[in-house]
Amino acid sequence: MPRFLSMIRVNENEIPTDEFPEDFNERMGKLLEEITKAGVMLDTAGLLPSSEGTRVTWSGGKLSYTDGPFTETKEVIGGYALMQCKDKAEALEWAKRFLEIHPEEWTVTCEVRQIMEG
């Protein structure tokens, strides 16, 4: 079965860290339990803020390092999920269900990409 990487993109400046809906964690926990029991979820995690990250760039034969936060970037990857699904349609269905748990006033993007095998 193919594997898919789901990357969650957020604007860190627009996500309130202390104003999650009351039942958000419960609903998210139920979805993660369901996707795990279905044998789809291989790994998932949120990421620390970009202020704690570093970008390493290779250009012109030289490396450069840029410490976060990355002010020139509107969206950053805030988390990921590694899933094994029967096809892309199934991966997109799980991504849809994940996004629908978030508050309507948030903008959260989920980029789903199949992993190139062997």
DSSP string, 68-88: SP-TT-S-EEEEEEEEE-SSH
pLDDT digits (tens, 9 = 90+) for 19-49: 778 898 899 999 999 999 999 999 999 999 8
Assess whether the previous peptide bond of 69 is cis (omega < 30° from 0): yes
- Residue numbers of the chain with a pLDDT score lower than 70: 16-18
Structural domains of the chain ordered from first start: 3-114 (3.30.70.1060)
Q: State the pLDDT at residue 16.
A: 67
